[in-house]
Amino acid sequence: MNEQQLTRCQKCGNRLETCGHLQICKVCGYWTQAGTARMDSIVVIC
Tell me if 11 contacts Zn ion by CB under 5 A.
yes
Q: What angle do CA 38, 5, 25 make, to 5 degrees?
A: 85
Residue 9 or 23 having the CB closest to Zn ion: 9
Q: Contact between 15 and Zn ion (CB under 5 A)?
A: no
- The yes or no reply on residue 27 touching Zn ion (CB under 5 A) is yes
Q: Does residue 23 sit in helix, strand or coil?
A: strand
Task: Kindly state the number of chain residues that form the binding site for Zn ion, as judged by CB under 5 A.
Answer: 8
Show Cβ contacts of residue 44 under 8 Å, excluding neighbours closer than 6 positions: none
Instruction: List residues binding Zn ion (CB under 5 A).
Output: 9, 11-12, 14, 25, 27-28, 30
